[in-house]
Amino acid sequence: MSVRIAVLALQGAFIEHEKMLSKLGIASFEIRQKKDLLHSFDGLIIPGGESSVQGKLLKELELFEPIRKLITEKVPIFGTCAGLLLLSKQIENDGRVYLATMDITAVRNAYGRQLGSFYTAESFGTMGKIPMTFIRAPYIKDVSDSVVILATVNSKIVAARQGNQLVTAFHPELNDDLTVHRYFIKICGGEQLNRIID
């Protein structure tokens, strides 16, 4: 079985995700407008960028409702940084919410402006320490009981999963480590690929 991943390509660092997938030998394609959703795919990545820009374009390009529906139908979805904000049910310091499908409360620009951006290495689930790059990043302040916390940095939640939804406040696509993408591919039904990608 071969897995095919859609990458939302409205704005931000979508090419970086496509490169990570290609390193894993996973096929991907870009979603820029409604007709792109007609292709079949096993999972969707919402990249880093600006959540306000992507949120607005989702609505104006009529992608908002179809994608929301896909998520409620349990299509695997992976949001990094801005993608995390788009999936959050609540954003503490911002009146706006977008897809609002994941039971988490996020804080936008939680580490301040660009001078607050940083790099560290921390544990991700049981998969060991991985590099984490935070760029004007959010973090997760609160989660419901059905959300599994996958990583914390200085006791702030920076990665979590709720069923088919995976989010990271950091950018795994900006470093060479493939752990998080490999983990997402498994959620997308790539379990059978274990032998190939492990």
Partner 1 sequence: MSENRYELNKNLAQMLKGGVIMDVTTPEQARIAEAAGACAVMALERIPADIRAAGGVSRMSDPKMIKGIQDAVSIPVMAKCRIGHFAEAQILEAIEIDYIDESEVLSPADDKYHIDKTKFKVPFVCGAKDLGEALRRINEGAAMIRTKGEPGTGDVVQAVRHMRLMQAEIRRISSSAEDELFDIAKGLQVPYDLVQYVHENKKLPVVNFAAGGVATPADAALMMQLGAEGVFVGSGIFKSGNPEKRAAAIVKAVTNFTDAKLLAELSEDLGEAMVGINEHEIELLMAQRGE
Q: Is 17 a catalytic residue?
A: no
Q: Is 65 a catalytic residue?
A: no
Q: Is residue 79 within the footprint of partner 1 (CB under 8 A)? A: no
Catalytic residue among 18, 60, 62, 171: 171
Site string for partner 1, 124-163 (x = CB under 8 A): ---------x-xx---------------------------
Burial of residue 72 (number of CB atoms within 10 Å: 0-12, 13-18, 19+): exposed
Alpha-carbon distances, residue 54 vs 24, 25, 48, 60, 85 (angstroms): 26, 27, 9, 10, 10
Q: 188: how many CB neighbours lie within 10 A of its CB? A: 22
Q: Is 81 a catalytic residue?
A: yes
Q: Is residue 56 within the footprint of partner 1 (CB under 8 A)? A: yes
Q: Is 166:187 a contact under the CB 8 Å cutoff? A: yes
Q: Is residue 102 within the footprint of partner 1 (CB under 8 A)? A: no
Q: Is residue 9 within the footprint of partner 1 (CB under 8 A)? A: yes
- Chain mean position to CA 20: 13
Q: Which residues bind partner 1 (CB under 8 A)?
A: 9-16, 32-33, 48-50, 52-53, 56-57, 60-61, 81-82, 94, 108-109, 112-115, 117-119, 133, 135-136, 171, 174
